Structure 1
Amino acid sequence: MRTNRAWAALAATIVLWAVAFPAIRVGLAGYGPAALALLRLMIASASLALAAPMLGLRRPARRDLPLIALAGLTGMAGYQFLLTWGEVHVPAGTASLIIVTNPVYSAVIAMLFIGERMTARQVVGAGAALVGTIAIATARAGVEIDRSAWVILAAAVAFGSYHVTIKPLLSRYSGLEVTAYATWTGTLLLLPGLPALVQAIPHATARATLAAACLGVAPSALGFVAWGYAVARLPVTTATGALYLVPPIAVVTGWLWLGENPRAIELLGGVLAIASVAFANSRRRPEPDPQRKATELASPANSSSDKVH
């Protein structure tokens, strides 16, 4: 029963995070990027604050506040603002295809700043993912679209930085606690956009405001709660591998909801990007030891009479 619930939580996470990309486009019809990113995080912060007593969130230690601030800057304020800004001109599905490359940038940043070694697979995967991103960025004519695609790439790098930043925090706090701390911090960092938000609210359509509210409650709050539940009960490789389903669902949702039609080169670039991330995160099987294999085959336990056919 618990496993079934974990699978349900994982499926909910994938759908909620995929729908976020077209929902941002809907919200941008009534709000500017800074205002929409702030409104989304404000709603997410309020939702997490209300749920904090039920979820058993603890108060963070003072020594961890600098890392929490950096996590809020990279994974919440920076990522949300850059992604929202980029989607002004980039279709939702296309944006999701770029964002999915963030794990390879995590590997590069970890190598540069905390001394983690990159495997040959990660180096090849990072290069191929960048090629896929370039194909996506140059698929459509127009300088604004090209620039916006690079802004979304910056969002992917920011999110990759977030994964590296929270690594030491996850040894002392739960994933849900780290998410809550980063969300609250990111909201504070985006408060300079409050005047723009106040001006936009009276003129925004109900559809845009509803999209912003859904972004805050569903992908940002419920999505991370469901993700934490799933990761705690399923193999990490299974859970993270399932995230490759987010871009295809986002592309289909953008087509059904907004009438967006990704171009063939964008889809090819996206497939290359997803395949590159999967390749970079895969592990090469160790070569079998011939001597050990011969010993095992020669042992009585492996005789044909003992095997079940």
Structure 2
Amino acid sequence: MDGDVGSVRRANGRALAAASVTVVLWASSFIAIRSCAADFGPGALALGRLVVASVVLSALLLARRGGFPAREAWPGILASGVLWFGAYMVALNWGERHVDAGTASLVVNVGPILMALLGGWLLKEGFPPKLMAGMAVSFAGAVVVGLSMSGGGTSSLVGVLLCLFAALAYAVGVVLQKPTLKHATPMQVTTFGALAGAVACLPFAGQLVSQVSRAPVSATLQMVYLGVFPTALAFTTWAYAVSRTTVGKMGATTYAVPVLVVFLSWLFLGEIPGWLTLLGGLLCLSGVAVSRMRGKAQPRVPEDARGGGADARAEGPAESAQRTAG
């Protein structure tokens, strides 16, 4: 028994370490995207990043003799690859041309609550009251962010909407990825997902070639950084952690991303979201936190005190859904 507990703790520790690596690298990606937004178009930057990531991941997969995923894994890999690697990156790159990195990260991090909603719909996990309350708070926060950006004209509002779309693509991608990991390794899912995203972004190939020839070396190096670290490494550590815990718990780890992004944005770009924007972002995150709250644990009642099971309280659908979503 002690050995089982110890192995579980070690597994949880490894999952937490992998998630921590993911959070730090994903936070840095918002800064890198913002830094080279003037030199690369949204689609070109996404394609360049995915090409670099695909080369690195394919080399690692070959070196480790990872092989090809099982046939059952391909639908999830292709769908999550196109949505999360492709659509998400293009939308986020486009959004960060109109809003600062901190604001983008605050809006994108409504993703966990969208994951819970999709889980309730697609995975039949239900819609517990705290989830709906959290959704209302996050929606109010998104409205506040949108109003705070309205002073910058319609361009800023478009940026907020693009970041919301990125959050949706991210949430759908994660929900599709979780069952896929039952049939493929994290390395396989990440490698072929990146390849699927790169293929989806091929229409931007001409733009990428043209812009690489004109972009400063520093911008090109940032694109390479995005491909190697926040994509190849961070998506692999994410898939590893998701395969060893729940999507809900992993979604909760992303709470730290906006805090890191705002700090890094101030440190490297000299950008800080306005107070009203920060308030709206905090409301978004508060809504996510409310949706993830657990109810008070019920005290255990001995079997003999329950009347042999006839009067035992079974866990109802609402409680089960809430526990699953948490």
TM-score (normalizing by structure 1): 0.86
1:74 is the counterpart of 2:74: no
Task: State the match for 1:256 in structure 2.
Answer: 267
Structure 1 residue 211: deviation in Å? 1.0
**Structure 1 residues 159-174: aligned runs within 5 Å:** 159-174=170-185
Whichever residue aligns with residue 92 of structure 1, its letter is A
1:63-119 per-residue CA deviation (whole Å, 9 max, x = no partner) reads: 543332211121111101111111101100111111111121122233344433121
Identity of aligned residues (%): 35
Residue number among 215, 221, 226 corresponding to 1:204 in the alignment: 215
Structure 1 residue 233: deviation in Å? 7.0
Task: State the match for 1:245 in structure 2.
Answer: 256
Structure 1 residue 276: deviation in Å? 1.4
1:25 is the counterpart of 2:41: no
Q: For 1:167, what is the secondary structure of its paired residue? A: helix
Query: 2:69 & 2:233 partners in 1: Cα distance?
Result: 21
Residue number among 62, 77, 97 corresponding to 2:106 in the alignment: 97
**Structure 1 residues 102-113: aligned runs within 5 Å:** 102-113=111-122
Query: 2:249 & 2:120 partners in 1: Cα distance?
Result: 25
Q: For 1:53, what is the secondary structure of its paired residue? A: helix
Whichever residue aligns with residue 226 of structure 1, its letter is T
In structure 2, do the counterparts of structure 1 residues 262 and 40 end up closer, same or farther at CA, with 3 Å as the change threshold? Answer: same
Flag structure 2 segments of 5+ consecutive residues without an equivalent.
1-9, 306-326
Q: For 1:166, what is the secondary structure of its paired residue? A: helix
Mapped contact 2:42–2:90 kept (Cα < 8 A): yes
Comparing 126-135 and 83-92, the one that deviates more: 126-135
Structure 1 residue 176: deviation in Å? 3.2
In structure 2, do the counterparts of structure 1 residues 241 and 54 end up closer, same or farther at CA, with 3 Å as the change threshold? Answer: farther
What is the root-mean-square deviation in Å for CA atoms of aligned residues?
2.6
Whichever residue aligns with residue 280 of structure 2, its letter is G
Mapped contact 1:30–1:204 kept (Cα < 8 A): yes
Mapped contact 1:70–1:165 kept (Cα < 8 A): yes
Mapped contact 1:85–1:148 kept (Cα < 8 A): yes
Structure 1 residue 271: deviation in Å? 1.2
In structure 2, do the counterparts of structure 1 residues 79 and 239 end up closer, same or farther at CA, with 3 Å as the change threshold? Answer: closer
Query: 1:241 & 1:108 partners in 2: Cα distance?
Result: 14
In structure 2, do the counterparts of structure 1 residues 68 and 230 end up closer, same or farther at CA, with 3 Å as the change threshold? Answer: closer
**Structure 1 residues 98-177: aligned runs within 5 Å:** 98-140=107-149, 141=151, 142-177=153-188
Aligned residues, how many? 294
In structure 2, do the counterparts of structure 1 residues 185 and 238 end up closer, same or farther at CA, with 3 Å as the change threshold? Answer: closer
Structure 1 residue 207: deviation in Å? 1.6
Q: For 1:147, what is the secondary structure of its paired residue? A: helix
Structure 1 residue 283: deviation in Å? 2.1
1:34 is the counterpart of 2:38: no
Whichever residue aligns with residue 97 of structure 2, its letter is V
Whichever residue aligns with residue 49 of structure 2, its letter is R
Structure 1 residue 29: deviation in Å? 2.1
Mapped contact 1:176–1:224 kept (Cα < 8 A): no
Mapped contact 2:181–2:243 kept (Cα < 8 A): no
Flag structure 1 segments of 5+ consecutive residues without an equivalent.
296-309
Whichever residue aligns with residue 175 of structure 2, its letter is V
Mapped contact 2:45–2:208 kept (Cα < 8 A): yes
Structure 1 residue 175: deviation in Å? 3.0
Whichever residue aligns with residue 197 of structure 2, its letter is G
